[in-house]
A and B are shown apart, each in its own frame.
Chain A
Amino acid sequence: MADFTLVTANKNYCLWPLPAWLCLKIAGLEFDEITIPFGDPDARQRFEQHSPSGSVPALKHGDLILWESLAICEYVADLVPNARLWPEDRTTRARARTTASEMYSGYKSILSRLMPTNIRGRTGPLDVPEELQKVIDRNTEIWRDLRATYAGDGPYLFGQFTIADAFHAPLINRFVSYNVPLGPVEAEYCDAVRNHPNVKEYIALAEAEPWTFEKSDRPFAA
């Protein structure tokens, strides 16, 4: 049994645990997973049993139980500084935290509502409502801006893979599922993240999952 246990929902339908999952992998910390599939009759009860806030992800480490992705990622960064999950420079780190935090507080509910997660699903180009287009434009602007300012020779927002990238990974997977048209800089960044070995691993695991969840499959119905 590993020292750490990450509590998640099914990977195909729930991307919010992805940042924490990626950080644990990149930090090289072994962890067990408890997967609570959405739609199970006792899912709500099990979320509450394993997570103080009743939402996933939660991370157990001995007696410690943490909740909220951003806090879990910070904890992993704190435990394994060598993984460089934040940029070393204080000013750059502040910029990276701003980026992660903006995604965390700003776009989560609109994305869950208008672009439900479905890693293996693919739609044709969508008729995108204005409020969603604003989120897409804002985030692609962030990518262009950070890549131009901080990325140097590296493929990610701050060169190396940081928590800021981990928080954008759920959006990137949505862009692929929903066939969102992208400019060259954004497309290149999306490819870099999708090709990160741990992101690939997560996608493969999601695609192999046995569960289906009708609500999230609906936008992809032929």
Chain B
Amino acid sequence: MAELTLILGSKNYCLWPVSAWLCLRTAGLEFDEIILPFGEPDSRERFCDYSPTGRVPVLKHGDLSVWDSAAVCEYVAELAPEARLWPEDKSHRAIARSVVAEMHSHKASPLHDFLPGNVRRRVTGVALPANVKEVTGRMTGIWTECRRLYGQEGPFLFGHFTVADAVQAHMVNRFVTYGIELEPEAAEYRDAMLAYPPMVEWNAAAGAEVSSFAPSDNAFPNS
């Protein structure tokens, strides 16, 4: 049994925990997973067994429970400083944290509501309403700007893979699921994310998962 345990929902439908999961993988830390069934009538209750907010992810490390993705990623970054989950430069690190916090704030919620997580599904012809477009435009704008200003030394926002990339994973997957077209620079970043080995691993696990969740499987039935 590993010292660390990550509690998550379905990998296909529940995209909140992907950032913490990618950070743990990038840090090379061994961890067990407890995958709670998602979308069942008692899901919330079962999540509450592990986290007082009834939300995942939760990371357990001995007696310590850390919840809320941003806090989990910070903790993983502290456990494995050699993984460089934050940029070394103080100013770049601060920008990276601004990017993470913005994604983590309620501003991204139109995205979660309109484009529910469903990693293995492919839908075409989805027209984005203005409030969703505003969010995707802002987020891909961040991608392009960080890549230009800080990303010279690698394919990610700050060159090497950081927490700022980990929190983009759910967006990348939503863009793929719903066939959202991106400008060339944003598309290049999306592809770099999709090729990142831990991301490949998560998405393969999501594809192989035996699970179903009607609201996400039936969104956009006519497209």
Contacts and interface: CB of A to CB of B under 8 A. Distances in A.
B95 A78 contact: no
Given A70-B101, A94-B75, A53 B138 contact: yes
User: Could you tell me the dominant secondary structure of chain B's interface residues?
Assistant: helix
Contacts of B109: 109
Given A53-B107, A79-B90, A105-B68, A66 B95 contact: yes
B93 A78 contact: yes
A91 B63 CA distance: 10
Contacts of B93: 78
B100 A71 contact: yes
A104 B106 CA distance: 9
B94 A64 contact: yes
Contacts of B91: 64
B64 A75 contact: no
Interface of A is mostly: helix
A87 to B, nearest CB: 12
Contacts of A55: 107
A102 interface: yes
A102 B67 CA distance: 8
B175 to A, nearest CB: 20
A105 B51 CA distance: 15
B120 interface: no
Contact of B98 (A68, A78, A102, A141): A68
A67 B102 contact: yes
State which size class the interface on B falls in.
Answer: 20 to 34
B124 interface: no
A150 to B, nearest CB: 12
Contacts of A75: 90, 94, 97
Question: Which of A97, A105, A106 has the most chain B CB atoms closer than 10 A to its own CB?
Answer: A105
B88 to A, nearest CB: 12
B66 interface: yes
A27 to B, nearest CB: 14
A105 B95 contact: no
Interface string B45-89: 000000011000000000011111111001100100000000000
Contacts of A78: 90, 93-94
A49 B197 CA distance: 39
B222 interface: no
Contact of B74 (A69, A94, A102, A105): A94
Contacts of A72: 98
B67 A66 contact: no
B33 to A, nearest CB: 19
A66 B52 CA distance: 31
